[in-house]
């Protein structure tokens, strides 16, 4: 009788482990297209991603680089102080989007231009996404609020 209980307990544990592994695999499979990796302009230039890969790029909008074309297309350059990447975006930019301000864009890198599908700008004068701050600190160009 005791061996039957032990065998049943082992079977239940094995079944639970298999179900857990299967559930984890299914969650990972479902999320594979929804995960956007962040890259700084230096990382994009060093290792250009495939044109089909969707990722996020962040940095500062380079001064004097915003060019508003015909229609809703806007071109500008994003930099981290080390490298710069040209960006093309068709749509309406956020109100706080400006030169020398932090931004994060989602899109893909095609023929040397980051084609953005979404642009996010910082939402107040002191906030900047952690990834952008880390990338700018790595390049030695980030200054804390209040520094000159």
Q: What's the sign of the alpha-carbon dihedral 102, 81, 140, 110?
A: positive
Q: What is the SS3 assignment for 76?
A: strand
The CA-based dihedral angle spanning residues 7, 12, 14, 17, taken in that order and rounded to the nearest 10 degrees = -160
Among the CATH numbers 2.40.50.140, 2.30.30.100, 2.60.40.10, 3.40.50.300, which is that of 37-139?
Answer: 2.40.50.140
- The partner residues of 114 in beta bridges, in order of sequence, read 87, 109
81 vs 142: CA distance, rounded Å: 9
> What's the whole-number mean pLDDT along residues 2-26?
92
Higher-confidence residue of 113 and 2: namely 113
pLDDT tens by residue, 29-84: 887 766 667 888 988 999 888 888 888 998 889 988 898 877 788 999 999 888 89
Q: What is the pLDDT of residues 97-133, one digit of tens each?
A: 888 888 899 999 999 999 999 998 865 555 566 777 7
Q: Is the pLDDT of residue 9 over 90?
A: yes
Q: What is the pLDDT of residue 142?
A: 63
Quick one: pLDDT at residue 13?
A: 95
Q: If you search the block for the tokens 């996404």, which residue do you land on?
A: 129
Tokens 């956020």 belong to 94
d(CA 28, CA 49) in angstroms, rounded, equals 21
Instruction: Tell me the whole-structure pTM to 2 decimals.
Output: 0.64
């Amino acid at each position: 009788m005791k061996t039957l209980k032990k065998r049943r307990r082992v079977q239940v544990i094995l079944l639970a482990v298999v179900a857990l592994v299967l559930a984890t695999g299914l969650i990972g499979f479902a999320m594979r297209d929804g995960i956007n990796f962040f890259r700084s302009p230096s990382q994009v230039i060093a290792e250009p991603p495939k044109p089909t890969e969707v990722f996020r790029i962040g940095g500062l909008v380079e001064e004097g680089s915003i060019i508003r074309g015909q229609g809703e297309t806007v071109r500008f350059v994003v930099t981290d102080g080390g490298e710069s990447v040209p960006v093309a975006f068709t749509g309406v930019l956020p109100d706080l989007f400006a030169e020398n301000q932090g931004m994060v864009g989602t899109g893909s890198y095609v023929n040397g231009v980051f084609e953005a599908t979404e642009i996010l700008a910082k939402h107040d004068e002191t906030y900047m996404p952690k990834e952008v701050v880390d990338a700018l600190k790595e390049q030695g160009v980030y200054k804390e609020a209040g520094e000159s």
